[in-house]
Structure 1
Amino acid sequence: MEGRAVLLVNLGSPDSPSVSDVRRYLNQFLMDKYVIDLPYLLRRLIVSCFVLPRRPKQSAEAYASIWWPEGSPLKVLTERLTEQLANKTRAVCVRYAMRYGSPSIEQELISLASRPDVTEILVVPLYPHYAMSTVKTCVVELERITRDQDIRLPVYVHPVFYEDEAYIGALYDVAKPFLQQSYDHLLFSYHGVPERHIRKDDPTGSHCLSSADCCQQSSVAHLTCYRAQVLKTTAAFVAKAGIEQDKYSVAFQSRLGKAKWLEPYTNKQLVSLAEQGVKKLLVMCPAFVSDCLETLEEIAIQGEEIFKAAGGESLTLIPCLNDHETWAEVLAAWWQKSPAKLSRIKG
């Protein structure tokens, strides 16, 4: 694709594990109306009065426990993946940006659009599954930037890839060494979302979460249903890996606030599995392509403590795709996709 540049977009990270940097990051993240989907004044009240007074110190301690000498694990891993992709394609330029924190999408998009050798930009949101708080907010931000900055060249977005064969194959390549070892159970822990987000993005207005088996019933709603998509990722992976039905389960982590989120919750599932006699537990987090606070601290540290306290013996976190060579090769193949298979941003 002559003249095509690539911009990988990940969620983001504070610049450091200091309380001030974490507070700044949390403020930007939680004030996004697609993350906390409440009217501005109510959202501002919740974030300023109930989250920012205490949460930054707690989160800073958590970030400090997983921080690498080179910096934030998520940022470092995204940088490494970007370098790998640049070496595997003939793209004019390969860059990365963060939806929250730095480098910003706006900064990188303007930089790419100003290059005379760039004729179009492919943006790849590094989220396998559609959600209001990930893919939707990324697309809305791209639309705002192209409009406000009067970017005229084509900006395309790669679609979600939750059951893409190559993505599933990359997940399997990373997990295979762990699956070949002795284990009792594999837990798929996906990032949770509030149930109201699922219902808000249901184009039918009535399908999602209407019954226990709604995700197994064919519906246009699945195009924007996070729950249906993560279940399809799970099904595709266990079919690829040949894992028996009674040897795996699905749960949702990272719940925030008192609203009802997708269930079962990971922390409760860890206790339940231990009480059922599971001793050696594997956990993988396919919703994340890069290891981060939610995997390295919430699962590998907190999760292990919860599991062992309930009677389990070992919890092993299977790494995310990170900068694995197979994953970089998958992205390199996507770089060549026809615009007909992509979505063009309307500024």
Structure 2
Amino acid sequence: MGKKGVLLVNLGTPDSPSTADVRTYLNEFLMDPRVIDVNPVLRTLLVRGIIVPFRAPKSAKLYREIWSETTGSPLMHYSILQHEALKQRLGDEYMVELAMRYQNPTIESALNRLKDALVDEIQVIALFPQYASASTGSVYDKVMELILQWPTKPNISFVNSFHDNELMIATFAENGRKYNPESFDHVLFSFHGLPQRQLIKADHTHKHCLKVNDCCQTLTDTNKFCYSAQSHHTAKLIAEKLNIPKEKYTICFQSRLGNDPWVQPYTSEIVAKLAGEGKKSLLVFCPAFVADCLETVYEVTTEYGDEFKALGGDRVQLVESLNDSPTWIDALEKMVRENHI
């Protein structure tokens, strides 16, 4: 029998922090119809005419702040380490490839390597703990678009989400425990934001999302595919693992784009609110990311840190992401072995 194939897919990163490479990355990312889910003509006008020309130089400057001359972007660095560690764990029975949804290494090149190796099956793990149409859904689309062109197709499986994975929760708890959460005035679980319209689209009943009070607070059969509900569930599991009482933590969402309403509460507003209440120290988890990136290393540590201090706070401490933690590699290994076809 041939090998089993595993494809790890993370979001992506520019090839370099140059404005040209950031512009290329943003164009590919934001032109994805699952990311900006509006009329194609409007999306093109917005992305290529307004967003990217203004955002690329600013984003390039931010990428330069976190870029390492030796390892590049944190997201790429830790994705490579995860890939290498998982290959070692799984051994010769498996062939493991790494790809990025946007930019390099491409999903197409990784799939072609698996195809050329004649693997018996391919298990796709989109490295986003909580399912969202704009992340995991987009990876599914791209993988199937490419495989549909193959004359012969191996068995394909997808890991839909792992928002409640015990070993993933344990890794975030391990990372947070090092900072003594009880010593901070408040704890934030800050997730990547999404437009509210995408949550509404994900409500197949058309009767639940935004129509039921606090509908995301508890994960149920009705909202089990909802990104916000899954995010709340992840945060609660980490908080329970660390014995953080409910009144001492807040679940919030960062990285808004445009003027449409996004999932709330917004992290920036919560940071300002807590500073106004006299809180001096914040511990911040970012459980939507399996590897540190611009949104964790810069947005939380620098942007929110500076905002908090300007409003009277003393410090914002980021809890590092899963990165190359051995417990997280345990989680990936178990995920692969238990979910293969």
Please give the TM-score of this superposition, normalised by the length of structure 2.
0.96
Q: Distance in 2 between matches of 1:40 and 1:180?
A: 46
| Aligned residue type for 1:68 | S
User: What percent identity do the matched residue pairs reach?
Assistant: 39
| Aligned residue type for 1:275 | G
Match of 1:235 in 2: 236
Does the 8 Å contact 2:218/2:229 carry over to 1? Answer: no
- 2:113 is equivalent to residue 98 of structure 1: no
**SS of alignment partner, residue 234 of structure 1:** helix
| Aligned residue type for 1:145 | L
Q: Distance in 2 between matches of 1:182 and 1:219?
A: 33
| Aligned residue type for 1:162 | H
- Map 1:1-347 onto structure 2 (within 5 A): 3-69=3-69, 70-90=71-91, 91-116=93-118, 118-179=119-180, 182-216=183-217, 219-339=220-340
Shift of 1:92: 2.5
Change (3 A) 1:125 1:228: same
Change (3 A) 1:272 1:217: closer
Change (3 A) 1:221 1:105: farther
Deviation digits for residues 63-100 of structure 1, max 9, x if unmatched?
00011121111011100111111111124322210000
Higher mean Cα deviation, 221-230 or 299-308?
221-230
Which blocks of at least 5 consecutive residues in structure 2 are unaligned?
A: none
CA RMSD of aligned residues (A): 1.6
Shift of 1:31: 0.3
Q: Distance in 1 between matches of 2:157 and 2:12?
A: 21
| Aligned residue type for 1:46 | L
**SS of alignment partner, residue 64 of structure 1:** helix
**SS of alignment partner, residue 284 of structure 2:** strand
Change (3 A) 1:283 1:151: farther
**SS of alignment partner, residue 53 of structure 2:** coil
Does the 8 Å contact 1:203/1:220 carry over to 2? Answer: no
Does the 8 Å contact 2:34/2:134 carry over to 1? Answer: yes
Deviation digits for residues 34-87 of structure 1, max 9, x if unmatched?
000011111000011111221100000010001112111101110011111111
Shift of 1:219: 4.6
Q: Distance in 1 between matches of 2:248 and 2:220?
A: 28
Show structure 1 runs of 4+ deviating over 3 A: 216-221
**SS of alignment partner, residue 320 of structure 1:** coil
Shift of 1:210: 1.0
Q: Distance in 2 between matches of 1:183 and 1:81?
A: 30
Does the 8 Å contact 1:208/1:221 carry over to 2? Answer: no
Q: Distance in 1 between matches of 2:298 and 2:222?
A: 33
Shift of 1:2: 6.6
Deviation digits for residues 159-212 of structure 1, max 9, x if unmatched?
201112222112112221113572111111000100000011111112111132
Does the 8 Å contact 2:219/2:230 carry over to 1? Answer: no
Which blocks of at least 5 consecutive residues in structure 1 are unaligned?
A: 341-347
Change (3 A) 1:214 1:277: same
Does the 8 Å contact 1:193/1:261 carry over to 2? Answer: yes
